[in-house]
Amino acid sequence: MSGGDQLFALQRRERIMDEIREHGSVSVSDVATRLGVSELTIRRDINALAQQGLVTRVHGGATLRSSIEPGLAPGLAGHDPTVTKYTIGMVVPSLDYYWPPIVNGARAQALQLRARLMLRASTYDVRDNRKQVEALLNTPGMHGLIVAADQSGDEGLEMLRWLDSLPVPVVLAERRIRSAAGVHRLESVVTDHATGAAEAVRHLHASGHERIGLLTQSEYPTGRYVRRGWSSAIKSLGLPTDGVQLNGMRFDAPGREREMDDVLDRCEKTGTTALIVLPDPQALALEQHCLDRGIRVPQDLALVAYDDDVARYGDPAITAVRPPKQFVGREAVNLLIARLEGGASRPAHRVKLSAELHVRDSSQRLATESTPMPEEATV
């Protein structure tokens, strides 16, 4: 490699590190597009950075290295004991799918604010949530916690009250504070899922759809807010309320073809021409099944996914509502450190962030058959 090539490689890797420090992670395809080089070149750069212990390679990109990775020196994890100001614990119910961007956002913001982030994975079980929180509380020098605890039922209310009583400040991430808990010190940052779902309904209505259905996977905590936003928008627009509705669908389980056939048959019987689907892997599976059955997307059935993790891989690419996951993690760290620096007199903040609708081909208004094609497109 010539001296000039070495310089260019160094500049690219510095850009990659800047992106990772700011966002917590990078995508190979995104960086390659921005820098105008091949994805193979960026993969080589990431491999070189990983060999230096600066990043962790993940599928499709790289993330900040975690302080819990084997053999990782504190300084390489963004944690230097001589400059670190705060130690923050974080408990999330999963380390795949929805939560990695939230964790990456929190880690990136913690690094910028001279905080050490200690991560623990839990489940959607209240008792396991409490066990992981207690483990972090027993860590010497713990200043505060970010928690995504299950809040369902009486156990969930008791969990909120317990978190409110802890000797360190607590911020809930993507979890709302139930008024029945009667807590006052807890803070929270959540996505406004109801407004995101309502925006999807309005987009589909503007594309000419009247009967707009909703499919949700039952165990998703965001499902109730998506249903609330969908219902509110349907009523405010004066649309029919008999579109297909299904809570608890699983298009990734045995018998899924039969379940998807049932949904499509119900769409035909009710005149439902558009569906909002949470989460987007289920939307992707449904789209593929539509193609297998000869149902055209969006001509016969328009689709909008909720989450936007894999929706862009559809054929056609699926329109999706994207929660601001990295910003949820960042804002959780901001809230926690602001409380630590502002003291008990600072009022509790409960922040709601907007989701974004990313319009793609699966829901686009199509030209009617009577609309002539441009001459240059005629064959």
Q: What is the pLDDT of residues 87-145, one digit of tens each?
A: 999 999 988 778 989 998 999 899 889 899 999 998 888 889 999 999 999 999 999 99
pLDDT over 60 (residue 69): no
pLDDT over 70 (residue 80): no
Which tokens hold the place of 268? Answer: 């035909």
pLDDT over 70 (residue 375): no
pLDDT over 70 (residue 79): no
Q: With 0-12 CB in 10 A as exposed, 13-18 as middle and 19+ as buried, what is 374?
A: exposed
Q: Is 313 within 8 Å of 284 (Cβ atoms)?
A: yes
pLDDT over 80 (residue 219): no
- The confidence score (pLDDT) of residue 95 equals 83
Nearest to 324 by CA among 187, 144, 112, 173: 173
Which tokens hold the place of 309? Answer: 């993790």
Mean pLDDT of 301-328: 94
- pLDDT band at residue 5, thresholds of 50, 70 and 90? low
- The confidence score (pLDDT) of residue 26 equals 85
Mean pLDDT of 271-282: 95
Contact partners, residue 365, CB within 8 Å, separation at least 6 = 206, 207, 208
More confident residue, 372 or 344: 344
- pLDDT band at residue 178, thresholds of 50, 70 and 90? confident
- pLDDT band at residue 300, thresholds of 50, 70 and 90? very high
pLDDT over 90 (residue 149): no
- pLDDT band at residue 7, thresholds of 50, 70 and 90? low
Q: Is 108 within 8 Å of 22 (Cβ atoms)?
A: yes
- pLDDT band at residue 359, thresholds of 50, 70 and 90? very high
pLDDT tens column, 11-41: 888 888 888 877 778 889 888 888 889 999 9
Task: Find where tokens 């975690």 sit.
Answer: 66
Nearest to 274 by CA among 310, 295, 243, 236: 243
Sheet strands (E) in the chain: 25-27, 55-58, 61-64, 86-92, 115-121, 144-147, 170-173, 187-191, 212-216, 245-247, 274-278, 302-306, 319-322, 350-353, 356-358
pLDDT over 50 (residue 46): yes
More confident residue, 219 or 42: 42
Residues of the chain with pLDDT > 90, as a percent, come to 56
Mean of per-residue pLDDT scores for the chain:
86
Which tokens hold the place of 79? Answer: 């944690």
- The confidence score (pLDDT) of residue 371 equals 41
More confident residue, 359 or 4: 359
Least confident of 149-163, 165-179, 180-194: 149-163
Mean pLDDT of 183-187: 91
**211-225, 301-315, 365-379 — most confident range:** 301-315
- The confidence score (pLDDT) of residue 366 equals 55
- The confidence score (pLDDT) of residue 68 equals 44
Q: Is 173 within 8 Å of 102 (Cβ atoms)?
A: yes
Is pTM beyond 0.85? Reply is no
